[in-house]
Amino acid sequence: MNRNNAPIGVIDSGVGGLTVVKEMLQYLSTETIIYIGDDARCPYGPRSVEEVKEFTMEMASALAKMGIKMLVVACNTATAVTLDLLREQFPFPVLGVIEPGARAATRVSSTRKIAVLGTVGTIKSQAYENAISAISADAEIVPLACPEFVPLVESGQYKQMDIRPVVKRSLDPIAHMEFDTAILGCTHYPLLYNQIQEQLPAGVTIVSSAYETVRDVEKVLSKLRLENISGERKDPIFYTTGELEGFRSIAIDWLGIERPDVRHIVLGKPGCQ
Ligand code: DGL
């Protein structure tokens, strides 16, 4: 296969990376996408750095075998601890979501006080602090781990029940703190956008890294002359390690694709899920 026609691989611990795929489908109209969501082992947020690295490498290796030309790590938790390793191990370009999110936030924040909502792993890694201070040394970060959010998305509960009390409880620790911008530092969180916005102080701008990440994808494709210029985009294929129906229903809901091609994939050693 001509390298330019090869698909772009996208990975996440589960359905969260679909928030990045949505932007990719909109702005990269000629590119084919192959996605892996490790729903069976989601959430990654509370896992050890070693486990996140191992699982992320398994997804990337599976996509490498399928012949991708680029990898987008559409998971903040995996980006925080695995990006350098992936870049060392694979011959294709590997892009993460933290730097783009940090860039977007520093652009819109006028007070330089920025809240970062993320998983326990992402917050512990201080990856956003590092990325933001590299752009704007005087920025102040208000970090907050929201471990209850990802299960609400993965289980589909965000569509079925009133999750406002959980969102309120999770955001309470920063309710009286000063910041003008909040980064959704987990790709699952844009699915809870309305509920999060409702609970944040009025006037706070919410930033997610999806749009900015796609700008990076475009730049790298163009710089490396890797764009698919054949005009032949194939439909995206979604692999999940978890259960097909739950994934399919969120993909239909979020991406607006009527019949998404959702398939099962087995990763890792038996018994380690
Ligand atoms: N979507 C992920 C992220 O951006 C991961 C959530 C999780 O598995 O805990 O961090």
189-205: string of b/e by CB count within 10 Å (b at 16+)?
Answer: bbbbeebbeebbeeebb
Distance 149 CA to ligand 1 centre (A): 10
Report whether residue 209 contacts ligand 1, using a CB cutoff of 6 Å: no
Query: In this structure, is the dihedral angle defined by the CA atoms of residues 51, 56, 57 and 63, taken in order, positive or negative?
Result: positive
Range of lowest pLDDT (1-10, 29-38, 81-90): 1-10
Distance 146 CA to ligand 1 centre (A): 11
Best residue among 10, 19, 82, 188 to mutate for probing ligand 1, ranked by most atoms within 8 Å of CB:
188
> Which atom of ligand 1 lies nearest, measured to the CA of 80?
10
Q: 119 by DSSP, 3-state: which?
A: coil
Query: In this structure, is the dihedral angle defined by the CA atoms of residues 151, 187, 166 and 46, taken in order, positive or negative?
Result: positive
Among all residues, which ones are annotated catalytic? 75, 186
> Which atom of ligand 1 lies nearest, measured to the CA of 46?
9
Report whether residue 77 contacts ligand 1, using a CB cutoff of 6 Å: yes
Biggest alpha carbon distance in the chain?
55
Q: What is the pTM of this model?
A: 0.96
- pLDDT at residue number 110: 97
Tens digits of residue pLDDT in 48-97: 999 999 999 999 999 999 999 999 999 999 999 999 999 999 999 999 99
Tens digits of residue pLDDT in 155-181: 999 999 999 999 999 999 999 999 999
Rounded CA gap, 34 and 134, in Å? 32
Distance 121 CA to ligand 1 centre (A): 9
Rounded CA gap, 29 and 135, in Å? 30
Best residue among 75, 99, 153 to mutate for probing ligand 1, ranked by most atoms within 8 Å of CB:
75
Contacts of 65 (CB under 8 A, 6+ apart): none
- pLDDT at residue number 270: 56
Distance 126 CA to ligand 1 centre (A): 15
